[in-house]
Chains A and B, each alone.
Chain A
């Protein structure tokens, strides 16, 4: 009998195998956080221990030291291809964006540079519906125009596990294999499968990172959860949203929409 986590995993593996069969070349954005690392684990399951396309880090140079150390260790332990894309500086961003949003936009621009150079047709991204109301409206296979923009007013029909996998020349597709997972599912799965995590997620001195981003725009929350078990217990009762520590989400009502529409993850 499949339990809830098996069911989530089976669906994710199905999506990954669809992407691998239908779309080439393919790459995945690995942010080194809990979600995309759990997704990386699912990739190894889908392809029998292999990671058959590159992992890409959009690097702003602003991650915490522990994040970089974790990244290098995992590449060594699991042996997969990692490409590091340096993001352009903040001065080159749209200056009408509020400050934290502007900082986050650096990744959008880094991604655009990468796509223009490497010509990826498919980019796998570890976002989830329950993170944010804009992401809740996403498709699993979500086309982007040549400039990376998201036409959210006219998304493709997507049902019965049939995904849009053919596109005009100048588009690429974002593939979201864990869109249907919740934050608590990721933690239960990480615990069950014994997947490594950046230690910053666990509480030290009454603080922990619930969502991990660049150090200039992400803040830890008050918490005493120092094990995954305790994180799960915390999430079962919390009334605080996951991305409360992400300042770009709530600077203005439309700040996250502007980011996503122009190609943010």
Chain B
């Protein structure tokens, strides 16, 4: 038995009626890949419908597809060149069947983008090309079809070639070749055509033979998403498919997001002829560990020095298939490898018109549109940017049990929580070696700390912060207030009010507050800081001296106060994404202190915060750094 060459999956995409099915029919015919009787069956089917011979009937198997002469769903068909087998994936060209097009194209190693020489680049040509880019398909050839109808004219070919080249360069797709073909006549399909001597390149089939099968990413860092845990016998086998890299017996693995570690004792496959010492990307395996750590479906195992990122916030370059639009503020389920999470659409950063690649600001994304979206997840998620690792860098979006979208992920401008946690720990160590926090506290007579006030606009954060600082200063304490006024003008002058910028604003404040507290100051911050994840990052930066204080007042009270007239503006639509109106406020789950400004007057509230700070900052209290939570 000869070892067969590896197959290549090729998807045929392009605008409706540009000749995709005809091209496939021709490829099958010219490589002698059709089964006996198939041609006759198609001829008879066409005759019954009184239509001229139609290659698409080879693939369009449904009666509805044949009757209406439209491809509804994707299909796959095999053929062989002299070099290797291929699986051809036919993808529908109609806009309303985009979900079927993606369901087919996602399996491909390579793509042929078909463009009608007479019609040139059309709407679905562009949308499909854009999707190839999102699906990560790098091997693309453009076939300019129906050259017979264009009189095999070189100039026409060059015009369309220039048009498609201009579009593709805008989306970072570099075609391997752009060929003139006439699928109906077989020109430049399986062999070079003598009707277009001006074409010096390869035929389409030769071009396909120049592609290579997609290889599993063995060279990348190990990612082993846990699919299930089996206890059929005394073994506890953690099963899954390795999506990248290699795992070896004896490796120490880190499971994310829990960060637990254990050593691989064995790699398990049933009926294996000998002990398995390693397994690589693409393999479905099981492993047993030296410790019974809690690992469950959704965790990602990796090596300790090359872990995925941990985050609550991430961005997706998405395509949307849902009948209902995607909207900012709405919640969805996502699936990322074997993990599932509930996410909120924090912001729709831009919607992309695949026609002219312009970007528009909208607060919803309709079916068949592409967009850049920022998501926020309540739970910590382990992921890789798609650019680093495809399978752990993309997710599907689910609404009402259906997959309604998908996207490739990035973390541009967002922080990796793992690095932040590590950095916070390392900083504390560095300080310990020079001058201790205790030394500073003795000099000042109190410990440094961060009193982080969070709450709706108008809840009273700034008023309280200033009054509290005054009271503490009067008691001889070293204090400072960070608020929008002194931060936005300098340190954060480069930031606007997009979701991304607001998040970055809070991140920087959190870091600065942590440094000031480390220097011995009592820092009081006054920012709405609506998201749990952002505040959690600030807490991670400051460590034990962080006290979250929820300045609480209900929305109607705040709106009645409206000291800066912001609610009014937000209600009239002049401010997009205003917390409490068009953007959510996530209240703290376990704050160190809650101050209800609706139920107490200002003096009482100031007194509560001052008492809390004195209790925890005074050196006498510093011996017991574990502060009690949720005192009120």
Contact = CB atoms under 8 A, between A and B. Distances in A.
Contact of A17 (B41, B99, B239): B239
Interface stretch (A6-14, A78-86, A92-100): A6-14
Contact of B103 (A3, A133, A139, A229): A139
Interface residues of B, number: 66
Contact of B74 (A1, A48, A50, A137): A137
B406 A48 contact: no
Contacts of A6: 282-283
Contacts of B269: 45
A253 B48 contact: yes
Given A48-B232, A152-B73, A241 B396 contact: no
Nearest to B398: A166
18 contacts: A4-B6, A6-B282, A10-B282, A10-B283, A17-B228, A21-B227, A48-B268, A52-B232, A134-B62, A139-B103, A155-B73, A159-B102, A160-B396, A162-B396, A166-B398, A250-B41, A253-B41, A254-B63
Q: Which of B4, B34, B58, B394 has the most CB of A within 10 A?
A: B4
Given A21-B228, A45-B269, A157-B103, 20 more contacts: A3-B3, A4-B6, A9-B284, A17-B227, A20-B228, A46-B284, A48-B270, A48-B286, A129-B76, A137-B62, A137-B73, A156-B402, A159-B106, A159-B406, A160-B391, A164-B402, A241-B38, A250-B41, A253-B48, A257-B62
A50 B63 contact: no
User: For chain A, which range describes its interface: under 10, 10 to 19, 20 to 34, or 35 or more residues?
Assistant: 35 or more
Contact of A257 (B63, B241, B391): B63
Contacts of A10: 241, 282-284
Contact of A21 (B45, B232, B297): B297
Interface in A10-36: 10-11, 13-14, 17-18, 20-21
A182 B284 CA distance: 20
A41 B571 CA distance: 64
A27 to B, nearest CB: 19
A157 B321 contact: yes
B117 interface: no
Given A18-B227, A50-B232, A153 B237 contact: no
Contacts of A152: 62, 72-73
Contacts of A45: 269-271
Contacts of B62: 134, 137, 152-153, 257
Contacts of B63: 253-254, 257
Given A17-B284, A257-B61, A164 B403 contact: yes
A33 B166 CA distance: 53
Q: Which of B38, B62, B232 has the most CB of A within 10 A?
A: B62
B7 interface: yes
A146 interface: no
Given A134-B62, A167-B401, A241 B74 contact: no
Contacts of B402: 156-157, 164
B35 A240 contact: yes
Nearest to A168: B401
A13 B227 CA distance: 11
B282 A166 contact: no
A160 B106 contact: yes
B4 A4 contact: yes
Contacts of B497: none
B45 A253 contact: yes
A226 to B, nearest CB: 16
A44 B227 contact: no
Nearest to B272: A45
Contacts, number: 151
Contacts of B41: 250, 253
B78 interface: yes
Given A17-B228, A229-B1, A137 B401 contact: no
A240 B36 CA distance: 5
B69 to A, nearest CB: 15
B513 interface: no
Contacts of A7: 282
B283 A241 contact: no
Contacts of A44: 270-271
A48 B396 contact: no
Contacts of B270: 44-49
A130 interface: yes
A158 B230 CA distance: 26
Given A159-B103, A241-B35, A137 B61 contact: yes
A133 B61 contact: yes
A136 interface: yes
Given A2-B282, A21-B297, A155-B73, A136 B406 contact: no
B571 to A, nearest CB: 38
A164 B404 CA distance: 11
A232 interface: yes
A174 to B, nearest CB: 15
Given A137-B73, A139-B103, A166 B335 contact: no
Interface string B397-428: 01001111010000000000000000000000
A76 interface: no
Contact of B403 (A49, A129, A162, A188): A162
A250 B44 CA distance: 12
Nearest to B269: A45
Nearest to A182: B78
B295 to A, nearest CB: 14
A255 B237 CA distance: 46
A239 interface: yes
A49 B59 CA distance: 39
Interface string A35-66: 00000000011111110100000000000000
B37 interface: yes
B366 interface: no
B73 to A, nearest CB: 5
Interface in B59-89: 59, 61-64, 72-78
